[in-house]
Each structure stands twice: as C-alpha cells, then as structure tokens.
Amino acid sequence: MSADRDLAEAIHNALSSAKSIDHALDLWHEGRGLLTEYDRFNLLLPVLARSVIEEVLARRQSEAARTGPWGEP
C-alpha cells in the first residue's frame, strides 16, 4: 500500500509542477478559436495526465534499473 501511495504522491507532485502547468497552458492556448472551452478541457486533461504518468513511471523504472535489487549470479 505504501508503494501505491508513494506513486500517487509522485504523480500528484509532477502534475502540480511548474513544468506541467506551463505545458497545460500551452495546450490550452493552442486550441483557442478552434474548440470550445469545454472541448479544450476534455482534450487537455487526458493528454496532460498521460504525459505526467509516463514521466513518473519512466523515472521510477530508471531508478529501479540503476539500484537493483540484483541477485547473485
């Protein structure tokens, strides 16, 4: 359960980061004039969430590969 909580906190922190906020604003402004605010929001949320989750999981996978656990050969 602790690992799940740690993962959720890492995703939350990444989603709240300045980088993610800037990315969200860029995506938001790209759709201006083409889509309604409702449609922009519905497109923005999954794109941003997927990006953040992939970033967190990739970082954790890299850390796990670097630190082990390594068994005796």
Structure confidence at residue 66 (pLDDT): 87
Share of the chain above pLDDT 70, in %: 95
Averaged pLDDT for residues 41-65:
92
64: pLDDT strictly greater than 70: yes
CA distance 58 to 60: 5
Averaged pLDDT for residues 7-29:
92
Mean pLDDT of the chain: 89
Secondary structure of residue 73 in the 3-state scheme = coil
69: pLDDT strictly greater than 90: no
CA distance 12 to 4: 12
Averaged pLDDT for residues 24-48:
89
Q: Which residues contact 63 (CB under 8 A, 6 or more apart)?
A: none
